[in-house]
Amino acid sequence: MFSKKHYRMQVDFRDCGVACLAMILDYYGSDYSLAYLRTLSKTNLNGTTAYGLVKAGQELGLACQPLKLDLEQLQEAVVQNPALVHVIKEGKFPHYYVVYQVTDTAVFLADPDPQVGLVRRSHAEFLQEWTGVALFFEPGVDYQPRQRREATFWSLLALLSQMKGLFFLIVLVSLGLTLLTILSSYGLQWIVDGYLPQGRMEAISQLSLWLLVAALLQALLQFCKQYPLLLLSRRLSLKLLEDYLSHVFGLPLSFFATRRSGEILSRFTDANQIIEALASLSLTLLLDGLTLVSLSLTLAWQSPQLFLLALVLVPLYTLLFFAFQKKFKSYHQDQLEAGSQLSSSLMDHIKGMETLKALGLEDGALAQNKGYLESFWDKVCTYSCAEQLQSALKSALQLGTTVAIFWWGSRLILTGHLSLGQLLTFTSLLAYFTGPLENLLQIQVQVQKAQVAYQRLQEVYQVPLEEQGDRQSLTRDRGALRLDQVSFAYDYGSPLLKDLTLNIPPGQKLGILGLSGCGKTSLAKLLVGFYQPLEGQVLWAGQDLSCLHPQELRRQVQYVAQDAGLFQGTLRENLLWAAAAETAEADLWAALELVEAVAFVQLLPLGLDTLVGTDGTALSTGQIQRLVLARSLLTGASCLILDEATSHLDPETEERVFDRLLALDQTLIVITHRLELAQKLERIVVLADGCLKETGEKEAINLGQESSF
């Protein structure tokens, strides 16, 4: 029977389909990461198609039967196995549920949205969303349950073992602080019970002075404790974030094409929460645990009866913390997702501000971002309100306990079993007792946050790196590019490219023409190894691109996109970013001369040392295209793939730059819509409907005015 133990929540809203498939797989005894299922089902920025889920299930050994049903048929079908159903949530969002039971009055389903989880819906509510599509999965003949082996949040504790010196220093300082706290509290008892009744003002003044010195020493030790804690957090941050950055930079282009930038960057916030939890977990358990034991022994020795009364706080505090556990986890997940959605939307609109203004859509974009902002702060306020409520209840518990201790302590004083000084000392120490106790209980909240954040981080770590296994080095720096019966698609729809065979000898000047959307750019990205073909091979000098080191390949095969940009830094740094090792100053100017950029570079405030990029000097799109082209020429690559790389230049400048490129002893592959440029190339291929319709010498291809690309 499907139950809560099979539930998997989505990491973001595009994961609803794969999260439901993960539940089905868990029901059949397998555990797969959402990242792996995203890859199998070819999830993109629009989510996952039902056909993609079917193909992913089949890849993992499940047999699938997609059906169009009514509710009565669904009720009969889910008696045996749960169904993955397609719905339109809130009338506008395509979504998936797992339906595991249908009764005469209700539908029991698992919504991968963590805000919902396992719920009961009436027939009317369910039918209002359901499209009638249901996917039924069951183990195939060759199905083998598989359990995933991956690092857990707790495995990160191993990082702390590398910082034993810092730990020892923090523990030593903390023990000194605890000792000073206890001694200072006893100083108050000596004054009240000893010196004050005897009228020994001189002794009271001396002891008060010592207590003042102890307070200053406590402040100093507190600073000495916080500084190593800061160093510990820094080391943990560098380790975790550098590992994350290394993994992200090593991921294939398909990862970035199917995720928004804001979602990727939001994982940095996740990493910070993990670091906070690690530091708190280790130090709280160690330091607050030692403090709590020391204070407990002192309080019990001071007054066993009052200590037993104070212990009532422990179960009450524990009950209070765990009462809020589920709500905090849900609210925190909502806050993370809302923040990711807001940052992604803002990044998209700020980057596309020119387009927004050109279309007059500022108000619409502003309204959308206001909606996301309000949603984010609604989640923040909901979480904060829950925290404030918990904090108010804790304060009430503390106040109630203090009142009870004073009441019982007063009785003990009146019966001669306790002195006033002892009562004051006890209440003073009790204030230090509740702090470590609260910290120990607070661990569960921080660990919950960290576990949610770590799960989101793991979804990135589960994506395979671009360079996996043993890769070959290039046997030749100059070679032929060849497509051998290549088919390609971004998802499980119809192939974008079908059975392409094309040979590009070294030094050839080739043009690729075709209507927009016919697959020209996709073909270019296959040639540089950004994507792998569904069928067939892409070869460089006879070597399969999937077997080569990608960075080595791209040093020889340079892809220049239409919208390629400049990085933050000086113009010189940009040009030298990927330049060959022996590049000299004269080479920079030669490359700029070739692309006709010398004149405007010399007019820049600091020439080659002018800042460019996001915070640098504003350049036109045509100027940027020429600088990007110069940067690619400086790499020394033997093959250049220009994907509309000169489209923003004026026709006269473009023609002159193009003529110089044709004179180079390099393979040149040009994607363009300008027929006058295509006529300068020695060979042309025409793409249409995913196939090579025409290929040959330029004289054999009809490039008359009636042609339209």
Q: Is 262 helix (H, G, I), strand (E, B) or coil?
A: helix
For residue range 601-620, list pLDDT tens digits in order: 999 888 999 988 765 567 88
Domain regions of the chain by residue span: 15-139, 235-462, 481-706
Distance (Å, rounded) from C-alpha 695 to C-alpha 701? 7
Distance (Å, rounded) from C-alpha 134 to C-alpha 76? 13
pLDDT confidence bin for 43, thresholds 50/70/90: confident
b/e per residue, 120-129, with b = 16+ CB within 10 A? ebeeeebeeb
How many CB atoms neighbour CB 427 within 10 A?
17
Lowest mean pLDDT, pick from 113-117, 271-275, 519-523 = 271-275
b/e per residue, 196-223, with b = 16+ CB within 10 A? eeeeeeeebeebeeebeeeeeeeeebee
Domains 15-139 and 481-706 share a fold: no
CA distances from 677 to 35, 643, 660 (A): 43, 13, 12
33: pLDDT strictly greater than 50:
yes
Distance (Å, rounded) from C-alpha 51 to C-alpha 69? 17
Q: For the chain, state the CA radius of gyration.
A: 34
- Give me the mean pLDDT over the 450-478 stretch: 78
Q: Which residues pair with 94 in a beta bridge?
A: 88
pLDDT at residue number 225: 63
CA distances from 293 to 115, 176, 305, 432, 499 (A): 39, 15, 17, 12, 73
pLDDT at residue number 190: 63
Amino acid at 369: N
Amino acid at 403: V
- Which CATH superfamily includes the segment(s) 235-462? ABC transporter type 1, transmembrane domain (1.20.1560.10)
Which residue from 535, 560, 561, 558 is spatially nearest to 546, judged by alpha carbons?
A: 535
Residue tagged 């740094």 (tokens) = 573
- Which CATH superfamily includes the segment(s) 481-706? P-loop containing nucleotide triphosphate hydrolases (3.40.50.300)
Residue tagged 């797989």 (tokens) = 25
Q: Which residues pair with 488 in a beta bridge?
A: 497
pLDDT at residue number 706: 40
Choice between 663 and 185, residue whose per-residue pLDDT is larger: 663
Distance (Å, rounded) from C-alpha 255 to C-alpha 249? 10
Structure tokens at 346: 């803002």
Choice between 20 and 705, residue whose per-residue pLDDT is larger: 20
- Which CATH superfamily includes the segment(s) 15-139? Cysteine proteinases (3.90.70.10)
CA distances from 708 to 246, 437, 684, 685 (A): 44, 76, 14, 14
The 8-class DSSP code of residue 32 comes to -
Nearest-5° Cα angle at 502, 498 to 507: 150
pTM for the model? 0.71
For residue range 133-178, list pLDDT tens digits in order: 999 999 998 898 887 665 565 666 666 666 666 667 767 777 777 7
Q: Is 668 helix (H, G, I), strand (E, B) or coil?
A: strand
pLDDT at residue number 20: 95
Distance (Å, rounded) from C-alpha 624 to C-alpha 482? 31
Nearest-5° Cα angle at 236, 433 to 266: 100
Distance (Å, rounded) from C-alpha 456 to C-alpha 333? 10
Structure tokens at 638: 């033997």
Distance (Å, rounded) from C-alpha 683 to C-alpha 21? 48
CB 320 within 8 A of CB 390: yes
CA distances from 576 to 559, 571, 626, 635, 646 (A): 17, 9, 15, 8, 21
Q: Catalytic residue numbers? A: 16
Q: Which residues contact 383 (CB under 8 A, 6 or more apart)?
A: 328, 331, 332, 334, 335
Structure tokens at 424: 């004051």
CA 83 to chain centre: 30
pLDDT at residue number 342: 84
pLDDT at residue number 472: 84
CB 482 within 8 A of CB 503: yes
How many CB atoms neighbour CB 676 within 10 A?
12
398: pLDDT strictly greater than 90:
no
For residue range 499-528, list pLDDT tens digits in order: 999 999 999 999 999 888 888 999 999 999
How many CB atoms neighbour CB 115 within 10 A?
12
